[in-house]
Amino acid sequence: MIVTKPPMGWNSWNMFGANISDALIRQSADALVESGLRDAGYEYIVIDDCWSLRERDAEGRLVPDPEKFPEGMKALSDYVHSKGLKFGMYSCAGTKTCARYPSSFEHEFTDAATFAQWGVDFLKYDYCNKPRIDGDLLYKRMGLALATCGRDILFSACNWGADNSVEWIKSTGAHMWRSTGDIFDSWQSVKDLAVSQIERQPYFSPCCFNDMDMLVVGLRGRGNAGLTGCTDQEYRTHFSYWAILQSPLMIGCDIRQMDAATLETLTNPEIIAINQDPAFRQPYLILNWGRSQLVWAKQLEGGDYALGLFNLDDDSRHMDFYWWDLGLPAAAGYALSIRDLWLHEDIGIFPEGMGLDVPAHGCRMFRARLTRR
Ligand code: GLA
């Protein structure tokens, strides 16, 4: 299976943790469709940890908890598929999952076959309770089991970048890999994860996307990953940063009851287009002031640039940057015509660069097009 775009969808963990059920997953699938999120590109509905019984059955297979999932997983996956969506589940490379449920170590091929029978399209694969075996071998086992199970199952590796996985994760068959620790719903957490990715961009590749963890947009301090919550501006900064760095976009809030600002942020088509741009060029920094005033640039298919200005500081900042640092010398005779992707407006033609005030924890997202001077 080849995965050519950062996956987009919804995952149960950030909001619901262990409080998951058949009804919740069905309602979330309904909400993904009815809210317009599916049409905006979100297609996976993923059940995270805590879905199984504490013991395997007599044949060594995982068993969905009948209290949470009385109809079993096949019926649920049929329902998700009937909505035009894809169905994701969770397991772990260790002897127990992170929440200490049965895990796939030494059961990789059985579990991959079970997931295939249930119609699973996506497997998030965690790294807790790891046996004393090199991590790459654990992911290679499951990578092989999935590749040979008879069904296309996207392999979402979640080892948080531990054990130097930047060097081996792409050899395992993973289609995306968690390049960060766990996210929480606070500005500090979003900022820490954002900054931690500066050195990880060279390890990005199309077909194995750097996964910065699920989004906290719209959590507003609630749920399993809820802390202080973020402002709407901070959620936009978070969403924009994940988008331009080509992270998978997995929503983590309760999509059955989103407010208007959350929906507007998550469905901005111009930001999503940057994330899903088919060229998948590596983003690069054209301004890095103290690891907190950052301008990321990315060449898009057809020659446009995406530009993301991020002020991670606690005060408003003036940010100056030049096309020279994009690789575009003034002598080439071009200016850049700039479109603001949050205002949805063309804001002018800029000959050599820009100087802008960006509010604390704020961002500006632009699409820039070469134009003759
Ligand atoms: C780890 C992962 C999280 C989540 C939990 C579930 O912490 O990084 O994303 O899957 O386990 O227990």
Could you read off the pLDDT of 307-366 as tens digits, one per residue? 999 999 999 999 999 999 999 999 999 999 999 999 999 999 999 999 999 999 999 999
If we measure between CA atoms, which residue out of 44, 346, 35, 33 comes closest to residue 214? 44
pLDDT at 204: 86
In short, whether 98's Cβ falls inside 6 Å of ligand 1 is yes
Mean of pLDDT values over 264-288:
97
Mean of pLDDT values over 93-110:
98
Which token pair is 8? 């987009």
Chain segment 37-91, per-residue pLDDT in tens: 999 999 999 999 999 999 999 999 999 999 999 999 999 999 999 999 999 999 9
Q: For strand 122-126 and strand 154-157, is the pairing parallel, antiparallel, or unpaired?
A: parallel
Residue 205 has pLDDT above 90, yes or no: no
User: Measured in angstroms, how far is the CA atom of residue 51 from the centroid of ligand 1?
Assistant: 13
In short, whether 80's Cβ falls inside 6 Å of ligand 1 is no
Which residues touch 290 (CB under 8 Å, ≥6 apart)?
A: none
User: Measured in angstroms, how far is the CA atom of residue 177 from the centroid of ligand 1?
Assistant: 13
If we measure between CA atoms, which residue out of 132, 58, 129, 57 comes closest to residue 91? 129
Question: What's the CA gap between 227 and 281, in Å, rounded?
Answer: 34
**Are 104 and 97 spatial neighbours (Cβ–Cβ below 8 Å)?**
no
- Active-site positions read 126, 182
Q: How many CB atoms within 10 Å of residue 126?
A: 25
CA distances from 273 to 32, 264, 302 (A): 19, 15, 13
Q: Whose CA is nearest to atom 6 of ligand 1?
A: 49
In short, whether 174's Cβ falls inside 6 Å of ligand 1 is no
Residue in 158, 179, 180, 251 to alter for ligand 1 test, most ligand atoms within 8 A of Cβ: 158
Q: Strand order in 154-157's β-sheet?
A: 209-211, 176-178, 154-157, 122-126, 86-92, 44-46, 8-11, 249-251
**Are 179 and 212 spatial neighbours (Cβ–Cβ below 8 Å)?**
yes
Confidence of residue 2 (pLDDT cuts 50, 70, 90): very high
In short, whether 13's Cβ falls inside 6 Å of ligand 1 is yes
If we measure between CA atoms, which residue out of 268, 252, 158 comes closest to residue 214? 252
Give me the helices (H) in the chain, please.
13-16, 22-34, 37-40, 72-82, 108-117, 135-147, 187-196, 232-244, 260-266, 269-275
**Are 156 and 123 spatial neighbours (Cβ–Cβ below 8 Å)?**
yes
User: Measured in angstroms, how far is the CA atom of residue 18 from the centroid of ligand 1?
Assistant: 11
pLDDT at 206: 86
Which token pair is 118? 């249930």
**Are 138 and 130 spatial neighbours (Cβ–Cβ below 8 Å)?**
yes
CA distances from 136 to 155, 174, 193, 355 (A): 14, 11, 23, 45
**CA quadruple 359, 314, 267, 175: dihedral sign:** positive
**What residues does 365 pair with on adjacent strands?**
308
User: Measured in angstroms, how far is the CA atom of residue 72 from the centroid of ligand 1?
Assistant: 23
Residue for token pair 């907190």: 292
98 CA: nearest ligand 1 atom:
12
124 CA: nearest ligand 1 atom:
10
**CA quadruple 15, 19, 24, 25: dihedral sign:** positive
Q: For strand 226-229 and strand 284-289, is the pairing parallel, antiparallel, or unpaired?
A: unpaired
With a pLDDT cut of 90, the percent of the chain lying above it is 98
In short, whether 335's Cβ falls inside 6 Å of ligand 1 is no
User: Measured in angstroms, how far is the CA atom of residue 126 from the centroid of ligand 1?
Assistant: 7
Q: Whose CA is nearest to atom 9 of ligand 1?
A: 182
pLDDT at 303: 95
Q: What are phi and psi of 87, to 5 degrees?
A: -115, 125
pLDDT at 367: 98
Residue 23 has pLDDT above 90, yes or no: yes
